[in-house]
Each structure stands twice: as C-alpha cells, then as structure tokens.
Amino acid sequence: MKIFKFLVVPIVVLGLIGYGIYYFGTNWASEKLMDEMTSELETSGQMEEIKQVIESDPELQSFIEEAKNAETSELPFTTKEEATRALINKIGISELNEIRVQAQEGTASKEEILQEVQSKLTEEEMLALKVIAYKELYGN
C-alpha cells in the first residue's frame, strides 16, 4: 500500500504540473503573439492599410460583414487571447508562423490561406474569429 501511495501521488502531482505548464505556456505564447502582431501592425501603419484592403475587396468585406450580425453569446471564444490560444491548439505555432510569412511575402493567395485555416476550425470558431477581427478593425 505504501508503494502504491508513493507511486500514485508523484504521478498525479507531475500530471498536474505538466497540465499547468501546458495551460499557462499556451496562454503566455498566445498573449506574446498577439501583443507582437498588434504592435507591429500599429507601428508600421499597416492597420489602416489592412482596413483599406478589406474595404476595397468585396470578398473580404463580406467575410468580415458576417461578424456584424453574429450572435456572440454562443461563440466558442470572444477575446483575442482566447482566439490565439484556440489557433495555437488547433493549428500550431509553427504553422501559424508559416501562414503569416506566406501572407506577408505573397506566396499564398488569400483563398489558400482561408481554406487552410477553415479546414482546421469549426464554423463557430471561424465566426468567432470574424467577430474578433471586426471588433479589432472597427472598434465595436
């Protein structure tokens, strides 16, 4: 019985520590990623450029417009941090970074990027991302 107690307790403690590291690690990574991207967009003036691109592209405009009428109480996440965490969990940091690089360099079309992201997320998660993007762009 003592061996059982000395074996189970450390395993449970290690499991809890591992989960804590995973939980807070992804939280930290998502916050760092969002802070970095937001500050980069704001300091370079690209945020206004992004707004203009969205407003001039009917496809992107309709993509974002879905967020206006969305029922936010049923969305799986509502904040940038929660969204980033979900993206990290579903897609992965390295793949997200690869998508970012492809978008910046223009080596992937917006359709390819959207298709790749949509293949890994549910419709509700995509709608939640649209709502967050709308709020970020238009401050609503």
pLDDT in tens, 10-50: 888 899 998 888 878 877 877 777 777 777 777 777 777 77
Tell me how many domains the chain contains. 1
Burial track 15-36 (b if 16+ CB lie within 10 A, e otherwise): eeeeeeeeeeebeeebeebbee
Look at 56 and 50; give whichever has higher pLDDT: 56
Q: Is the pTM of this model over 0.85?
A: no
> Residue 140: its pLDDT value, please?
62
In which band, very low, low, confident or very high, does the pLDDT at 53 lie, cut at 50, 70 and 90? confident
Q: What is the mean pLDDT of the chain?
A: 82
Q: Return the higher-pLDDT residue of 15 and 72.
A: 15
Amino acid, res. 17? I
Please give the residue range of the domain that contains residue 133. 2-138
